[in-house]
Amino acid sequence: MGMLDGKVAIVTGAGRGLGREEALLMAKEGCNLVVNDISGAEEVAKECEKLGVKVVSNNDSVTDFKKAAEMIDQAISEFGKLDIVVNNAGIIRDRMIFNMSEQDFDDVVAVSLKGTFNLTRHAAVYFRKMGKEDPEVKNFGRIINTASDSGLYGNVGQSNYGAAKSGIATFTAIVSREIAKYATVNCVVPSARTPMTTDETPKMVEWMNTKTKDGFDIFHPAHFAPLVVFLASDKAKKINGEVFRGIGDKVWVYRGWRAVKMIENDGKPFTAEGLAERVKNELMKDLPSKFEGAASQDVLFGK
């Protein structure tokens, strides 16, 4: 018995990298699939079929609102239902802000953020419809969105990608509350060796191939897929609106923006001059690092 026996899922961006590994493990766990990517989907679909499940491929762009709706319809038409959507599709166009074109920004936001909206919106309509038609069907849908370290910590040269990925985390938090009666919506933050983090980001190649002193291949993309399978399963029905970061053999749970310190002015409005003094000497003094919670080399490599 697999954790996803009889389930039906759409995995976007599944032609390579993380999406491919997620689709393969979902297939191993008994899930029927719509494998989506603008390239490579057919090959991954064939790999998944060999694992004994039913699979169809889809080459449409997640940026197209209408095509995203048709992807939902395709799953229902082929398999009679839809249980899971994994929004994995994303692209990068790294540029410093003074070199970034409008197209660089629009393309990244369109695939990552709008693509996540498109599939989530249409899936939510379906999950809500099914829940209203049968009140006994509760919290059956699973939506898993994909953010990034760039969205959590802010990587230089990725203001477009980081903004989109940070937006996905916030989008997840809000939508998870809106459709909680019918589906869970969670967010995952991978760090893995994929074409996006090697071919398209050469400076990451050495880092992404580093192993622990015991030889563990930390950044192999297959290590991340079990987190997605778990969140897609019935065993995760009580987990909603969360952000999980996974690297190698480690998983973190995150919380969003939070206040870390406050100053007040005894019931009177601040003046600009007063803020200049107190922000410097009180509010900004001894603050925790902006990167608190980021995985250090010591943590990752067991040094």
Let me know: does 35 contact 22? Beta carbons within 8 Å.
no
Structure tokens at 253: 């749970």
> Which amino acid, residue 203?
K
Q: Choose, from 126, 165, 166, 176, the residue flagged as catalytic.
A: 165
Nearest CA-CA partner of 131 in 175, 172, 81? 81
Within the chain, residue ranges assigned H as helices are: 17-28, 41-49, 65-79, 102-109, 115-133, 149-153, 159-178, 205-208, 225-232, 272-278, 297-301
Dist. CA 228–CA 20, nearest whole Å: 12
What is the distance of C-alpha 143 from the center of its chain?
Answer: 10
Q: Determine the Cα angle at 129 with ends 124 and 135, to 5°.
A: 115
Dist. CA 291–CA 299, nearest whole Å: 14
Structure tokens at 75: 């799953």
Q: Choose, from 112, 148, 176, 233, the residue flagged as catalytic.
A: 148
- Burial tier of 60 (Cβ tally within 10 Å: 0-12, 13-18, 19+): middle
User: Quick check: is 148 catalytic?
Assistant: yes
- Classified as helix, coil or strand, 225 is helix
User: Quick check: is 126 catalytic?
Assistant: no
**Which residues carry out catalysis?**
148, 161, 165
